[in-house]
């Protein structure tokens, strides 16, 4: 790649990263509706025009952040559970614990991203279907591996169990984003216990 092209690409990636960091900072401080492109541009040290050169809208930037923090983080948590644990019960316990820790570490940021994801799921788009599929598929992989170990409930398919587990998590997340006093830690402990009882022999 010619030097000027690689430098231009590095600059492009640097601007994207600055805008994503700006987005994460603002999402940690205020609701999505209160965030403006002007704020994002100022915090990312770019002009409004430059912002739109990289992201068609504020929602597109938030979607990129969502992919990084929700989807990529889930994959990291899955990899950690598979690498560190020998049984499906232990893997589910660790995976769900790590997922819950993400929620409590940066509450407003996670609320905003989950709210964005839920609103995105309400539209019939390929991106929404892919996002929903990912949340199911990560459990399906974990349970399929567990079926090979012989410790997963064999009355139901791994796919069906995965859909039920992902659905239960989504239901708790919906309550959490809509009710500020929702007892997340208590519910998450109960939810982990229930999901493990359902999935494990």
In this structure, are residues 96 and 192 in contact, taking their beta carbons and an 8 Å threshold?
Answer: yes
Q: Is the dihedral of CA 100, 101, 103, 104 positive or negative?
A: positive
Q: What is the mean predicted confidence (pLDDT) over 45-50?
A: 96
Least confident interval from 61-65, 76-80, 129-133, 148-152:
129-133
Is the fold of 1-55 the same as that of 59-199?
Answer: no
Look up residue 166 and give its two tokens.
Answer: 């992902």
Confidence band, pLDDT 50/70/90 cuts, at residue 103? low
pLDDT band at 100; cut points 50, 70, 90: confident
Using 50, 70 and 90 to split pLDDT, how confident is the model at 108?
confident
Among the residue ranges 49-63, 96-110, 128-142, the one predicted with the least confidence is 96-110
pLDDT for 4-13, tens place per residue?
668 888 999 9
Q: Domain 1-55 in CATH: superfamily?
A: Homeodomain-like (1.10.10.60)
How much of the chain, in percent, has pLDDT values that exceed 70? 93
Q: What is the pLDDT of residue 180?
A: 78
Mean pLDDT (the chain) is 89
- Total-model pTM: 0.81
Determine the Cα–Cα distance for residues 197 and 134; give it in Å rounded to an integer. 23
| 188 contacts 175 by C-beta, under 8 angstroms | no
Confidence band, pLDDT 50/70/90 cuts, at residue 147: very high
Contact indicator for 132, 122 with CB cutoff of 8 Å: no
Pick the CATH number of 59-199 from 1.10.3720.10, 3.30.1330.180, 3.40.50.300, 1.10.357.10: 1.10.357.10
What single-letter DSSP state applies at residue 34? G
What does the CA dihedral 65, 68, 71, 74 come to, rounded to 10 degrees? Answer: -130
Quote the crossing angle between the two packed helices 73-84 and 88-105, to the nearest 10°.
150
**Burial degree of 32 (CB within 10 A; 0-12, 13-18, 19+):** middle
Query: Nearest Cα to 96, choosing from 2, 14, 184, 5?
Result: 184
Q: What is the dihedral of CA 46, 44, 41, 10, to 10 degrees?
A: 50
């Amino acid at each position: 790649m010619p030097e000027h092209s690689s430098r231009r690409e590095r600059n492009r990636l640097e601007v994207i990263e600055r805008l994503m960091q700006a987005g994460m900072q603002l999402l940690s401080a205020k609701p999505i509706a209160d965030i403006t492109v002007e704020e994002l541009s100022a915090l990312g040290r770019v002009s409004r025009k430059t912002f739109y050169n990289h992201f068609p809208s504020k929602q597109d930037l938030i979607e990129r952040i969502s992919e990084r923090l929700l989807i990529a983080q889930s994959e990291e948590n899955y990899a950690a559970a598979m690498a560190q644990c020998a049984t499906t019960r232990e893997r589910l316990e660790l995976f769900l614990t790590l997922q819950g820790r993400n929620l409590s570490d940066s509450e407003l940021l996670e609320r905003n991203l989950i709210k964005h994801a839920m609103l995105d799921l309400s539209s019939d788009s390929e991106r929404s279907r892919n996002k929903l599929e990912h949340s199911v598929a990560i459990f399906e992989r974990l349970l399929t591996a567990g079926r090979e170990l012989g410790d997963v409930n064999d009355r139901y398919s791994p796919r069906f169990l995965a859909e039920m587990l992902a659905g239960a998590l989504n239901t708790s997340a919906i309550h959490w984003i809509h009710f500020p006093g929702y007892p997340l830690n208590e519910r998450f402990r109960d939810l982990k216990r229930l999901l493990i009882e359902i999935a494990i022999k």
